[in-house]
Structure 1
Amino acid sequence: MSPKRERAEQRGREGEAEAAMWLVNQGWRILAERVKTPRGEIDLIARKGALVAFVEVKWRAHAAALADAIDERRLTRVAAAAEIIAYDYAAPDDDLRIDVILLAPGCPPTHIENAYQP
């Protein structure tokens, strides 16, 4: 892995940790981090009451780049991965959704609830 890619990977992990702490401060419980499936990876899985969220975290060095950080292809991949493991983390009566948390230095986290709606 190139040094540039290693730095990006490290910053991504730091962003996921920051997002997890922010969610915990909002009353969520983190169930899992960096869950890999045959269809892709889910950055965070979090629970709040009877709601389980599969969370994609995006960090950018500049807030202006956040607008392009997430797209339909990425959300579809997260949804496909969540479909495989959803009931490893959720009870049959729980609500499920795909959320996104966008992070940039000097900006509060942006939490996009129910970001994926097929």
Structure 2
Amino acid sequence: MSRSRTLAERNGRRGETAASLYLMLTGWRILARRAKTPRGEVDLIVRRGRTLCFVEVKWRRTVEELDIAISLPRLRRVAAAAEALAARFGKPGDTQRIDVILLAPGRWPRRIVNAWQPG
């Protein structure tokens, strides 16, 4: 793995840890991290009450980079992976959604609730 890829991987893991802490502080329970499927990966799977949430985490060096960190193809992959994982983590009557958490050094997390609207 290249040095830049290794650094990106390390920052990504830090971002996922920070997002996990943020979610736990706001009442969510972490069910899984880096859940992989043949269709893609979900960074975090969390639950609060009857809401099951699949979370994509993006860590960037600057706030400006966060503005372009999430793309439609990326959200499609997360949605496909979430669909594959829903039976394993979901319960009857759950509300399910996909959120995005954007992180940059020195900034509060920015959360996009229900970022994926299939249509």
User: Which one-letter code corresponds to 1:88 in the other structure?
Assistant: R
- Per the alignment, residue 3 of structure 2 pairs with 3
- Per the alignment, residue 112 of structure 2 pairs with 112
**Matched-pair identity in %:** 57
1:1-118 pair list within 5 angstroms: 1-118=1-118
- Which TM-score applies when normalising by structure 1? 0.98
* CA distances 1:40-85 after superposition (whole Å, capped 9, x unpaired): 1100000010000000000000111111000111111000001011
CA RMSD of aligned residues (A): 0.5
Tell me, in whole angstroms, the C-alpha distance in 2 between the residues paired with 1:4 and 1:72.
Answer: 25
Equivalent position SS for 1:68: coil
* CA distances 1:67-106 after superposition (whole Å, capped 9, x unpaired): 1000111111000001011021110210000000000001
Tell me, in whole angstroms, the C-alpha distance in 1 between the residues paired with 2:117 and 2:47.
Answer: 19
Shift of 1:22: 0.2
- Which TM-score applies when normalising by structure 2? 0.98
Aligned length: 118
Shift of 1:115: 0.2
